[in-house]
Structure 1
């Protein structure tokens, strides 16, 4: 038989679990930055004419190509990718191009390393043209207001791999 106090504590614990699960679904960029950002601005339009959107807030997701510390701050070259759940970049095979993000803080280049996923809220500063291979590439330049570095996802091999591995099998059953 459940006593009144036990039911009360159970319902409290369920409420706490529910509230904690909701916080895991929250976007990674603050509400204030999301309210300032213009959802109607599409990256390919910014890429074609960044000067037209100068001073406007935008939220972009992508994969870091290169990170450099400069006198201005940390400069990230990012391959733009469509944003998925919570703003996380979906797939590097779909891209609108590249952009530069300048953060006036020092960001460690070994942490903000090539291949890491980021979501950036920032103000469009205009255009910066830099060499890209043997061409000159015109990058939209974003001044970072908020940046979220997505955790590295660890991919573990499936257990089935070990059952099909010949040497594993031989070490377990040497007489077969």
Structure 2
């Protein structure tokens, strides 16, 4: 009975430690490469494996395969991209197979482990933009609600703040009375 209870408790505790990427893929990643270095000279890292993420800008399927344009944001410890006001730029995540544009739609957070393939110049609006290219080994798309784990609304303490309650302005009381001091 104790063994059953111990195994159930272990299972419950370990489910919180699940990672979105397989251990095999995660071990291939060269963690010394940060996005700023990578963006400056992607050709120097060809053949290396990296892990980057961000928000999907667009998905395009061509004869060569699928191409996801990602606006880069830093990944947290849980491999979830943290939206900030500053992005490192954009990169392309490519796959020889078909990736459904409804699953990988614009605005969804994504994390990618992939092999660096170099760079590609494509139009971005009215300019030519040099995209670093990563060939997808593993990809994880987050639900938009995963970024904000609480429903919208006001989250405040249901209790009075110190000093703003029934005993205001003297606090909550206690063994001593801290009323107004009368200096003689």
- The one-character-per-residue Cα deviations of 1:126-174 (angstroms, maximum 9, x if unpaired) are 00001111111100000001001112317644499xxxxxxxxxxxxxx
2:177 paired residue number? none
Asked if 1:85 corresponds to 2:77, the answer is yes
2:44 paired residue number? 52
User: What aligned pairs does 1:128-143 form with structure 2 within 5 A after superposition?
Assistant: 128-143=120-135
Unaligned runs of 5+ in 1: 161-176
Asked if 1:97 corresponds to 2:89, the answer is yes
Unaligned runs of 5+ in 2: 156-184
Asked if 1:41 corresponds to 2:33, the answer is yes
CA distance in 1, matches of 2:128, 2:142: 30
CA positional deviation for 1:96: 0.9
Q: TM-score, normalised by structure 2?
A: 0.75
Moved more, 27-36 or 135-144: 27-36
Higher helix share: 1
**Secondary structure of 2:17's aligned partner:** coil
Runs of 4+ with deviation above 6 angstroms: none
> Would the alpha carbon gap of residues 70 and 17 (structure 1) be closer, same or farther in structure 2, given more than 3 Å must change?
farther
1:114 paired residue number? 106
> Among 51, 63, 66, which residue is 1:71 paired with?
63
Quick check: which has more Rg, 1 or 2? 2
